Amino acid sequence: MTATGKTILGALRNQLDLGQYTKVHWEGTFEQYLDIIRENPEVTRNAYQRLYDMILSHGTEEIYENKEKITRFKFFAQFAARYDDAIYGLDRTLMQLGNTFKSAAYGYGTERRVLLLHGPVGSSKSTIARLLKRGLEEYSRSDDGMVCSFSWKGENDTWIKDPMHGDPLQLIPADLRIEFIKQLSEALAKPPKYPIQVKGELCPFSRYIFNDRLQKYNGDVSAMLEGEVKVYRMVLSEQDRIGIGTFQPKDEKNQDSTELTGDLNYRKIAEYGSDSDPRAFNFDGELNIANRGLVEFIEVLKLDVAFLYDLLGASQEHKIKPKKFAQTDIDEVILGHTNEPEYRRLQNNEFMEALRDRTVKIDVPYVTRLSDEIKIYEKSFNPEKVLGKHIAPHTIEVAAMWAVLTRLEQPKHASLTLLQKMKLYNGKTLPGFTEDNIVELKREGTNEGMHGISPRYIQDKISNALVAHPEEDNINPFMVLHELEIGLRHHSLITNQDQLQHFKELLQVVKQEYEDVVKNEVQRAIAADEDALQRLWRQLHRQRQGVHPARKGPQPLHRELRGARRTAHAQRRGEDRHSRGPQGRLPPRDHELHRRPGHRRQEVRLPHQRAADEGTRAQAVRGPEGHDQADQPGVQRRGQGNSGKDRRGERPIDQVLRLQRVERHGRAQLRRQYLRSGADEEVGAWSDG
């Protein structure tokens, strides 16, 4: 049955949660709002407290890395994974950020600072800020993240919202707050996580309305709040510019501080008759609309100095001073991020020491753990996203390996290579190195992760490899390494030839490591197949005994018997050295590696061994010249020679093929052993039989 528009809309209606919609858009009186506080005192939290609780609401776990306990916030992994923004390998950085939020939530001082995420390009600074904003939006829709504001009664039963989304408790006059908070705290149904506090004053617009309505009610605050104020639940939203703001630098000629703090509405000046009337002011600056939430400053240190001065009062005093207007209280998290060159410029600017003193810098380095770097690229390059092309094993790994190597500092330990250092960081073990040694290595590398190749470059080159070979149905590590190498010539962040040469040398290190990995995997795969080993054993055993079953196609590689090879040469020259029986077989004992039929288990014996056993009965092999050519043990051979030449003085064959299955370096091997010299070698060529 074909669905109609009515049935489609009906199905859509069944997916709606109307009860949740009613909760999110709750409206009520000031008295009802106080009842909500009694049951849920967390409604009164400030911006830092709400942000910290939002992160904790997703859970935490404790892990140990090099004997150090680290708190891992699941918000940056599980919640972020839903939006394809999961952050890997920055547990220490995120723990430091979380501890900063915790300190600010409890009022220990960091709530009066500008939080500055500092690191190289592509190190997830913007991702962290984006996740915090998105998390606040979702948290404000939940019951635990409820946040409220208020509106004033207007004409014709309309309501005018507070332009700064202020806290309803700010409606309580300052001289009545202490007693009011005391009574409210005693009436709470459960102990609050944070003490109930009322900080800051109403914005100039609401203060003007408050005084006007209070005069109407002859100073009766309670009656005024009941008749003129409505409390509503608000949802933080960056798109709607409610509680979340984003500010980024633009052309200095087209940008001024009013974009941060708001500006006069000149059309309303004529209506209200004065430019000092708060009703003629637009509270639409980023610091205004981000009240009760968070404001992000993109590349904050690229802003003109005039903008940075506004951050001094906003961070320390939680106040902003618009041009030609009264100060306004704010309650918001100020989060900025910047790169290394801009931060160095701030450090060298002696006139900006006030801002430096009000800044908490949190380093966000590149990932230096290989397994975490691989996860970054697997988010974008996996079978679900890359359709029609197979990504060969180790393709992502070799690209991530090279990226991590460029970010590490050369170890001071003489016997440790950069590749081994990377493996230690990745959790591998090396003889002579303990966890204490790894901790010491990380202490020595104070600048590790703050330089090197960006993940964006790796992603770009993997993308190039995917599209550069349309005729191929796969990409392999060599394709990606080739793209990485040729891209270095035009890399905008490589500043000198030495750095370029260093990166190219690391590419060769990665190529060699990849070849070693593949060899080991092939050897382990063969050694793990017992059936294949048995087949190989039987085939090589037949080759040793001179038994070769008839096969179609190419014959197995094996070592030809020396006597048979010499006889074949003699036959081609017309010098048949041996008389043959009716069936073309050689006479007994006349071939160097001949075994009597029927004795399959008899060990192969060389001519000099037969001579030693039989004494004077050792037969001499005579060529057409008539010379005695009997092999003598211990006689030095000068060369192979022709079949017709006298071979007296040649050294006898000194090997008997013996197969052994031995364990070498943790893997099984099949080897041939030279019995006289004691040396052995790995069998290098065979086929299954």
Q: Positive or negative, the Cα torsion across 51, 56, 60, 65?
A: positive
CA distances from 433 to 401, 416, 425, 437 (A): 21, 10, 11, 6
Average pLDDT over residues 396-403: 96
Would the pLDDT of 651 be above 80? no
For residue 578, name the pLDDT band (cuts at 50, 70, 90): very low
**333-338 and 114-118: which strand pairing?**
parallel
Is pLDDT at 508 greater than 60 in this prediction?
yes
Q: Which residue has the higher pLDDT, 235 or 536?
A: 235
Lowest mean pLDDT among 58-62, 80-84, 187-191, 618-622: 618-622
Q: How many CB atoms lie within 10 A of CB 417?
A: 12
| DSSP 8-state code for residue 237 | B
Of 181, 139, 201, 203, nearest to 44 by C-alpha is 181
3-class DSSP state of 156: helix
Instruction: Tell which residue, 595, 596, 588, has the closest CA to residue 621.
Output: 588
Kind of pairing between the strands at 68-73 and 60-65: antiparallel
Task: Dump pLDDT digits (tens) for 304-342.
Answer: 877 888 888 899 999 998 888 889 999 999 999 999 888
Tokens representing residue 142 in the block: 């939940």
Q: Where are the alpha helices (DSSP H) in 244-293?
A: 258-261, 266-272, 286-289
Residues 249 and 202 sit within 8 Å (Cβ to Cβ): no
CB 102, CB 94: distance < 8 Å:
no
Rounded to 5 degrees, φ, ψ at 199 are -120, 145
Distance CA(54)–CA(73), nearest Å, equals 11
- Taking the CA of residue 268 as centre, how many other CA atoms within 13 Å lie in the half-sphere pointing to its CB? 11
pLDDT at 87: 94
**pLDDT(568) > 70:** no
Tokens 């979340």, residue?
244
Q: Please indicate whether residue 248 or residue 117 has the higher confidence score (pLDDT).
A: 117
Q: Which residue has the tokens 């180790």?
A: 394
N residues, the chain: 689
CA distance 229 to 31: 10
Q: Of 664, 639, 665, nearest to 650 (Cα)?
A: 639
Closest of 423, 417, 422, 430 to residue 449, by C-alpha: 422
Q: Residues 6 or more apart from 314 whose CB is under 8 A from it?
A: 287, 320, 330, 334
In 3D, which of 504, 506, 479, 478 has the Cα closest to residue 491?
Answer: 504
> Is 133 within 8 Å of 96 (Cβ atoms)?
no
pLDDT (tens digit, 9 = 90+) per residue, 447-502? 899 999 999 999 999 999 999 888 888 999 999 999 999 998 888 788 888 989 99
The more confident residue out of 338 and 607 is 338
Neighbouring C-beta atoms of residue 53, cutoff 10 Å: 18
pLDDT at 569: 53
The number of CA neighbours under 13 Å toward the Cβ of 542 is 15
380-402: b or e for each residue (b if 16 or more CB lie within 10 Å)? Answer: ebeeeeeeebebeebbbbbbbbb
Cα radius of gyration (the chain): 41
CB distance 257 to 307 below 8 Å = yes
3 SS3 class: coil
Place of tokens 């903008």: 307
Mean pLDDT of the chain: 81
- The three-point CA angle 451-452-454 to 5° equals 105
Question: What distance in Å separates the CA atoms of residue 445 and residue 125, rounded to the nearest whole number?
Answer: 21
The CA distance from 247 to 128, in Å, is 16
**Given a cut of 60, is residue 613 above it in pLDDT?**
no
